[in-house]
Chains A and B, each alone.
Chain A
Amino acid sequence: MDNQLIAWLLAAAQTALFVGAAPLLAGWTKRVKCHMQNRAAPAVWQPYRDLAKLFRKELVIAENASWLFRATPYVVFSAMLLAAAAIPLVAVDLPTGAIADVIVLVGFFALARFFTALAGMDIGTAFGGMGASREMTIAALAEPAMLMAVFTLSMTAASTNLSAAMGYVLDTGLVLRPSFLFALLGIAMVAVAETGRIPVDNPATHLELTMIHEAMVLEYSGRHLALIEWAGQIKLMIYAVLVVNIFWPWGIAREFTMEALGLGVAAAAAKLMLAMVILVVWETVLAKMRIFRVPEFLGFAFVLSLLGMLTHVVLETGG
């Protein structure tokens, strides 16, 4: 009974850490990127300052906005919060991990995306509709690739639960699995597309012709914008944690002692920082692609995920 309580407290603490650290991860990414591009870098705390400023600012809402427009930031943020709660960041086998498996996780993303697209169209501006249509085009192509990669993992671990999958990888130790290699590449490409990073979308600009995600949330201000930006940072962190913790789960806490948890936090921080450095290098060497080439990019991601599935069936199950 007591153990159960500790586990729930830990789960709550892990979720709070996840949500609280997401802006820090975004700040770290921006800082590394600035250094990489020889620009003066803002402090890593800058995203917190931006969020605090936005929370203090007045809301400006268009006259013809419906309840949908006002509800969307809260829906999006709660979907990301629940998704973050379901992902093992520091410790596996937490009670919140049993709430949702990877398929529900993809569902949370779809829910958030659906409401963002509706809100983009709700105001009736040209940019909102354009952004919504682009976002849905990309999502329709990214989701099958994501699910295929996720199925590859779940077939290997014989479970769609993330904690169970990480536990399986930890139990079997270092095994070279070609299917994981392809699934990793597939998920990384999907993550880049879904979080609006460089070859697909540029998170830092508001250029009419190219923006995708920013076009939908252009009308938001004040605390609504703060919630949406925060949700975006959480989403980036979710994808980063998915990639590092599924493919390199070593260091994650398996029992709830102080040393194991401390090691878990340190390992998670180190892995995430390294993953973001890789993302930044990728973003620095690549140029943003034309929007009509994005389907090719995501088609390649799908083929990679499919290849992961095929190599799992052909090479890894044995005759």
Chain B
Amino acid sequence: MTSLAQLSLFEQAIIVFAALALFSSFVMLAQTRVLPLIYAFAWQGVLLALVTALVAYVSGHPHLYISAALTLALKVFLIPWLLHRLAMQLRIHLEAERIVHPSLLLLAGGGLVIFSYYIALPIVQRSGLATRNTIAVSIAIVLIGMLVMIARKKAVAQVVGFMSIENGLFFAAVVSTYGMPLIVELGVAFDVLVAAILFGVFFFHMRESFDTLDVDQLTRLSEAREPEAPHEASGAAPAGPAR
């Protein structure tokens, strides 16, 4: 059993940044506006890059610096910029989504953290790495990303949730095995980039066919029999019509 005070300052910094990354997941869970949501995602990328660079420094794995640089370039600048541009083009940057029970959602996030602590416990007990405690945090980031995708109705929030799942997986790889082979990481990074671009195309299609980015509206099969769907510019759109 090692206490926090026995770790070096850099290892303590890794743990603090990991905790802040978890906090940014909670911010994404609670943030209803589009632009701050994208910024929260970018901040999580910053924290992830910092943790990766610190792990690289502490463990002496120079290839992790490349991963950190890749994270910084893709998840802090390129993807948030793409999403930001999309939000501006679709004119959804001022919209706010209504979350039905915000406090309940946050408490569910807390429950997920406890659950991931529970499932990470056997791994933590067998691992000898200084960063082993953060494995639970990375699993929690994955699960909270899924919760964002489940709880949110707007497509942008779902994409951010998806990206933060990927953040959590990358984070898990960094702290549990000091990163994946570089070729895998490059592949995943470009997959995510392609996904971001595809999502953009998908947003435009969705907007053209349904006139909204509310994914609940995707249950509509034909437009003929349905009552007038609420226009998304009204902001807090009620749940979709009868399915």
**Residue in contact with A175 in the complex, picked from B12, B30, B103, B114, CB distance below 8 Å:** B12
User: Closest residue to B136 on the A side, CB-wise?
Assistant: A314
1/0 per residue, CB under 8 A from B, across A85-129: the answer is 000000000000000000000000000000000000000000000
Asked if A4 CB lies within 8 Å of chain B CBs, one says no
Contact in complex: A299, B15 (CB < 8 Å): no
Asked if B215 CB lies within 8 Å of chain A CBs, one says no
Contact in complex: A319, B127 (CB < 8 Å): yes
Residues of B within 8 A of A182 (CB): 19, 23
1/0 per residue, CB under 8 A from B, across A135-179: the answer is 000000000000000000000000000000000000011011111
Supposing A181-B19, A310-B114, A310-B117 touch, asked if A318 and B26 sit within 8 A by C-beta, the answer is no
Size band of the B side of the interface?
35 or more
Residues 93-140 of B contacting A (Cβ, < 8 Å): 102-103, 106-107, 109-110, 113-114, 117, 121, 124-125, 127, 132-134, 136-137
Contact in complex: A313, B117 (CB < 8 Å): yes
Residues of B within 8 A of A296 (CB): 102-103
Contact in complex: B26, A315 (CB < 8 Å): no
Asked if A306 CB lies within 8 Å of chain B CBs, one says yes
Asked if B50 CB lies within 8 Å of chain A CBs, one says no
User: Closest residue to A175 on the B side, CB-wise?
Assistant: B5
Per the bound structure, the CA–CA distance linking A179 and B18 in Å amounts to: 12
Number of A-B contacts (CB under 8 A): 87
Supposing A318-B1, A319-B132, A319-B133 touch, asked if A303 and B106 sit within 8 A by C-beta, the answer is yes
Q: Smallest distance from the beta carbon of A290 to chain B beta carbons, Å? A: 15
Residues of A within 8 A of B26 (CB): 303, 307
Contact in complex: B106, A314 (CB < 8 Å): no
Asked if A316 CB lies within 8 Å of chain B CBs, one says yes
Contact in complex: A299, B9 (CB < 8 Å): no
Interface residues of A: mostly helix, strand, loop or mixed? Answer: helix
Asked if A210 CB lies within 8 Å of chain B CBs, one says no
User: Closest residue to A172 on the B side, CB-wise?
Assistant: B5
Per the bound structure, the CA–CA distance linking A251 and B23 in Å amounts to: 31
Asked if B34 CB lies within 8 Å of chain A CBs, one says no
Question: Which of B2, B9, B19 is the most central at the interface, judged by chain A CB atoms within 10 Å of its CB?
Answer: B19
Contact in complex: A315, B137 (CB < 8 Å): yes
Asked if A133 CB lies within 8 Å of chain B CBs, one says no
Residues of B within 8 A of A177 (CB): 4, 12, 16
Interface residues of B: mostly helix, strand, loop or mixed? Answer: helix
Q: Smallest distance from the beta carbon of A144 to chain B beta carbons, Å? A: 12
Q: Count chain A residues whose beta carbon lies closer than 8 angstroms to a beta carbon of B.
A: 26
Asked if A74 CB lies within 8 Å of chain B CBs, one says no
User: Closest residue to A304 on the B side, CB-wise?
Assistant: B23
Residues of B within 8 A of A181 (CB): 16, 19-20
Per the bound structure, the CA–CA distance linking A58 and B118 in Å amounts to: 64
**Residue in contact with A176 in the complex, picked from B12, B22, B23, CB distance below 8 Å:** B12
Per the bound structure, the CA–CA distance linking A317 and B1 in Å amounts to: 8
Question: Which of B106, B117, B134, B137 is the most central at the interface, judged by chain A CB atoms within 10 Å of its CB?
Answer: B106
Q: Smallest distance from the beta carbon of B145 to chain A beta carbons, Å? A: 16
Per the bound structure, the CA–CA distance linking A244 and B80 in Å amounts to: 37
Asked if A248 CB lies within 8 Å of chain B CBs, one says no
Q: Smallest distance from the beta carbon of A37 to chain B beta carbons, Å? A: 27
Contact in complex: A175, B4 (CB < 8 Å): yes
Contact in complex: B133, A303 (CB < 8 Å): no
**Residue in contact with B15 in the complex, picked from A302, A313, A316, CB distance below 8 Å:** A316
**Residue in contact with B133 in the complex, picked from A172, A299, A300, A318, CB distance below 8 Å:** A318
Q: Smallest distance from the beta carbon of B172 to chain A beta carbons, Å? A: 14
Supposing A178-B19, A181-B19, A303-B110 touch, asked if A314 and B102 sit within 8 A by C-beta, the answer is no
Per the bound structure, the CA–CA distance linking A177 and B136 in Å amounts to: 17
Residues of B within 8 A of A175 (CB): 4-5, 12
Question: Which of A177, A295, A303, A306 is the most central at the interface, judged by chain B CB atoms within 10 Å of its CB?
Answer: A303
Residues 4-36 of B contacting A (Cβ, < 8 Å): 4-5, 9, 12-13, 15-16, 18-20, 22-23, 26, 30
A307-B110, A314-B137, A316-B15 provided; 6 other pairs, C-beta below 8 A?
Answer: A176-B15, A177-B4, A178-B16, A311-B19, A316-B133, A319-B133
CB-CB nearest 10 A-B residue pairs: A178-B19, A319-B124, A176-B12, A299-B103, A318-B2, A311-B19, A303-B106, A316-B4, A176-B16, A314-B117
